Amino acid sequence: MRKNISARVLIVSILVILAVLSGCGKMDFKSEYQVVFLTNGQAFIGKLEGAGSEYPLLRDVYYIQSGVDQGTKQVTNVLVKRGKELHGPDFMYINARNILMIEPVSAESQVGKLIKEAKAQETKAQSK
């Protein structure tokens, strides 16, 4: 009798642990784009796949490049599509240990609107 109770407790404990762990690491973003902040201070914006995995994939990647106008000393921020670099990357795998935080990008936010504009310009350029 005592062995049956111990076996039941063990089985129930294992099922509870499996249920808890199956929900860990899964992130469900309702937005199309996410900002991935890295531990080195960089931030990339894109469509995140495999959040919670060891090496999540970021597609359609953008980043913000800041510059200072030497005449006015005013800081300007420009949204840059990744892929303009010499090696032309169109996606990136990120080591999850280097991810500090992930946030959704609202389509109505300034970044969301800039991505929409960039997509429209890209489509326009491709149709020429």
Domain ranges of the chain: 28-126
Domain 28-126 has CATH 2.30.30.100: yes
Residue at token pair 């999540």: 56
Q: What is the pLDDT of residues 46-62, one digit of tens each?
A: 999 999 899 999 999 99
Residues composing the chain? 128
Residue at token pair 């992130």: 27
Contact 31, 106 (CB under 8 A): yes
The residue-averaged pLDDT of 97-113 equals 94
**β-pair partners for 111:** none
Backbone angles phi, psi at 119, to 5 degrees: -65, -40
Tell me which residue of 18, 56, 65, 9 sits closest to 36, measured CA to CA. Answer: 56
Q: What is the pLDDT of residues 6-39, one digit of tens each?
A: 667 666 666 556 555 444 555 667 899 999 999 9
Q: What's residue 107's pLDDT? A: 92
In whole angstroms, give the CA distance from residue 80 to residue 116: 13
Q: What's residue 71's pLDDT? A: 87
99: pLDDT confidence band, cut at 50, 70 and 90?
very high
